[in-house]
Amino acid sequence: MASEKVPFSLDDIEKAAKKKMEKDVADYIYGGADQHQGVVRNQKVMKEILLNPKVCANLSTRDLSTTILGYKISMPIGFSPTGCREWVIDDGETYAAKSAASWNIPFSLSSFTEIPLEMVNESMKEFGDPLRIMQMSVYPEEAMTKEIIKRVEKCGFQAIVLTLDHPVHGRRSFDGSEGDDPWEETGLPNLPEKLLLDYEKSIRDGTLEEIETSTESWQDITKIKRMTKLKVIAKGIARPNDALEAIKAGADAIWISNHGGRQLGDGPATIDCLRRIAPVVKQFGVEIYIDGGFRSGNDVLKALALGARCIFIGRPVLSALAVKGEEGVSDMLKIMKRELDISMALCGCRNIEEVSESILWT
């Protein structure tokens, strides 16, 4: 029997994943808003940034560890909240959670997943107290928001990430020309019970509308801060002024994101947003996280050089799960770690603290 080919890159993993997935699932995961131009732009702009090699820098060893929100992590890579890990493989959510915990990197759980947060949390207990982040929104009624926060706190999650860039559903050809909701036939146990009951009733009545989960005001961040001692991360930031507003409202960290190119097709690449936002946020000492188009350790290094503290990945995790489950995720992380380690060495960086814009070719 021929030995299984070991993937060389995340692109190899994605190609293999697309062959294994059902077409409608692959279309949903890898597609973007409008004509998918935002998805393409995220990666295209990233690849246009070049690294600046440095020699004779005494680099016998490198340390990839860093901290976010005061927690030490093994490398500046985390898992974005994606709601379809169970679509690509049974137990995908817990596989991803356990992989992140075993690697000591941040894990984000989407409120749009079919597995209760309590069950996901239980799967990570063998790894101690890994960094767990719950994605949520400010819901229509304060009691709904408090309901979810109480569950998150009880499980010992350390942070909440508020999704800000989803006031309406992006127009996507792969889940209905007007943005039909793909979760109408599945359970969503991490949403407020009343909100979910109202949603299910609208399905039965034939009046299906989107689940109301948008965060509409900067004061919503302030409200959340008053409800909990958990760290609050503002996700979906693309403008410097919006970053400042989020900080003013009490956000503990800024997460630059364009929803993986799934909301505004003609929006900027997230790495371009980082170039503008980082200099403005730096004076406040607030950490910046970013996602969108990261497919290698080289990409991670570029974002670190531009001021990001941690880089989050979504689709690569789904691809790895589809190919080989929990083992596939570990393989994917090994690739990214190796790439980041090599690139740091070739650019003269012994640790994350030494990474700066000087390693970028300008």
| d(C-alpha 56, C-alpha 268), whole Å | 37
3-state secondary structure of 207: coil
At CA 20, angle to CA 14 and CA 23, rounded to 5? 90
Q: Does 328 carry a binding-site annotation? A: no
Structure tokens at 164: 């800000």
Q: Does 11 carry a binding-site annotation? A: no
Q: Does 228 carry a binding-site annotation? A: no
| d(C-alpha 128, C-alpha 109), whole Å | 18
Q: State yes or no: is 36 an active-site residue.
A: no
Q: Does 172 carry a binding-site annotation? A: yes
Q: Does 292 carry a binding-site annotation? A: yes
| d(C-alpha 203, C-alpha 314), whole Å | 29
Q: Does 28 carry a binding-site annotation? A: yes
Query: What phi, psi does 236 have (nearest 5°)?
Result: 110, 15
Tokens 């409608």 belong to residue: 24
Q: Does 189 carry a binding-site annotation? A: no
The DSSP H or E segment spanning 154 is helix 142-155
Q: Does 296 carry a binding-site annotation? A: no
Q: Does 289 carry a binding-site annotation? A: no
Q: Does 242 carry a binding-site annotation? A: no
Catalytic pick among 36, 166, 169, 259 = 259
Spell out the residues 6+ positions from residue 345 whose beta carbon is closer than 8 angstroms to its own: 59, 62
Residues belonging to the binding site are 28, 81-83, 110, 135, 163, 172, 235, 257, 259, 262, 291-295, 314-315
Residues belonging to the binding site for glyoxylate are 28, 172, 259, 262
Active-site residue set: 259
Residues belonging to the binding site for FMN are 81-83, 110, 135, 163, 235, 257, 291-295, 314-315
